[in-house]
């Protein structure tokens, strides 16, 4: 039976990297039913709605969503879609690949970011002229859920030969109530996973450690805003956002997207790096239980990167679809 995938190209280079990724997926021999939907700046300008109801319905009815890039309407599109699908875990692998200029060649960890609350709840107010506030929401329920996800992921990675360790990043020494709760729940959940090592760092120190000792981490778990900032910085250590995939996973839905934005400066030139979107599709295949095919694509991509058959941002001279074709040749 075909996997039913909702495809949302979005804005800018999303219209290039997603079609290139679809070609790679079609070349695997797996049976897919791609259902296309619209969202983003162009749809907003045309209809007055950045995320149409029809798109939401298609996303809810599909096994998974493959998303390209959001422009200025990102908060009304991708952030809203994550909430609608209740994809509470944002998963961002950080891995060094041969042929790509990285800080070290032995980086391989995953940042798990709580995806539904924190400052990204968007509870802001102007309480007086020139005085504004933002409310940071941290709940025991959401914290427990994200920690269990992180520990289960560490357990899966341990089976693959990884260390089996979860690192919690927080700021409980200053944000004593919200991050105080976050840290307490972390160690409470840890009691259920005696086979997994645990540690915690303050987020500012963690920001340094992803540069000075990124090779020591396995699974890093943190809150929404901290995770967003940390993962973009981490991407810089392994070649940049053009190689940074992400998965948004919940109990019933999965949403997969590259970390990079719509990149209007290069949109339409056909030179966008499809790696992050292809790796997001690899995460999607694993979510769908298609591990063998996921590994085939990643291996083919590794070969292409190692040979320097890449887009200009990585020093190559290939176009987006040309790089995808090189991957297809090696499947």
Catalytic residues: 120, 171, 204, 228, 232
Per-residue HEC secondary structure of the chain comes to CCEEEEEEEECCCHHHHHHHHHHHHHCCCCCEEEEEECCCHHHHHHHCCCCCHHHHHHHHHCCEEEEEECCCCHHHHHHHHHHHCCCCEEEEEEECCCCCCCCCCCCEEEEEEECCCEHHHCCEEEEECCEEEECCECCHHHHHHHHHHHHHHHHHHHHCCCCCEEEEEECCCCCCCHHHHHHHHHHHHHCCCCCCEEEEEEHHHHHHHHHHCHHHCCEEEECHHHHHHHHHHHHHCCCCHHHCEEEEECCCCEEEEECCCCCCCCCCCCCCCCHHHHHHHHHHHHHCCCHHHHHHHHHHHHHHHHCCCCCHHHCCCCCHHHHHHHHHHCC
> Which positions ≥6 away from 183 have C-beta within 8 Å?
168, 170, 172, 200
């Amino acid at each position: 039976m075909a996997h039913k995938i909702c495809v949302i190209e979005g804005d800018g280079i999303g219209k290039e990297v997603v079609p290139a990724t679809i070609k790679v997926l079609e070349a695997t021999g797996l049976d897919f039913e791609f259902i296309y939907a619209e969202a983003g700046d162009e749809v907003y300008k045309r209809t007055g709605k950045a995320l149409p109801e029809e798109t939401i319905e298609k996303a809810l009815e599909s096994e998974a969503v493959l998303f390209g890039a959001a422009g200025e309407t990102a908060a009304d599109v991708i952030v809203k879609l994550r909430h609608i699908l209740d994809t509470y875990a944002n998963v961002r692998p950080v891995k060094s690949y041969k042929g790509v200029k990285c800080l070290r060649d032995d980086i391989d960890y995953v940042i798990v970011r709580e995806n539904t609350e924190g400052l990204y709840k968007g509870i802001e107010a102007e309480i007086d002229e020139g005085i504004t506030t933002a409310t940071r929401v941290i709940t025991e329920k959401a914290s427990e859920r994200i920690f269990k996800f992180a520990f289960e992921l560490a357990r899966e990675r341990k089976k693959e030969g990884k260390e089996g360790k979860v690192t919690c990043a927080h700021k409980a020494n200053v944000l004593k109530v919200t991050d105080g709760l976050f840290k307490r729940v972390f160690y409470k959940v840890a009691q259920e996973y005696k086979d997994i090592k645990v540690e915690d760092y303050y987020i500012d120190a963690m920001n340094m450690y992803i540069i000075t000792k990124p090779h020591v981490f396995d699974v890093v778990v943190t809150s929404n805003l901290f995770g967003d900032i940390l993962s973009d910085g981490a991407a810089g250590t392994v070649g940049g956002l053009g190689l940074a995939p992400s998965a948004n996973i919940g109990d019933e839905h999965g949403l997969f997207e590259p970390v990079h934005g719509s990149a209007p400066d290069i949109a339409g030139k056909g030179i966008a790096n499809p790696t992050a979107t292809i790796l997001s599709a690899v995460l999607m295949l694993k979510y769908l239980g298609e591990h063998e095919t996921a590994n085939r694509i990643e291996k083919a991509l590794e070969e292409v990167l190692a040979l320097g058959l890449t887009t200009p941002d990585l020093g190559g001279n290939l176009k987006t679809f040309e790089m995808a074709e090189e991957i297809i040749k090696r499947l």
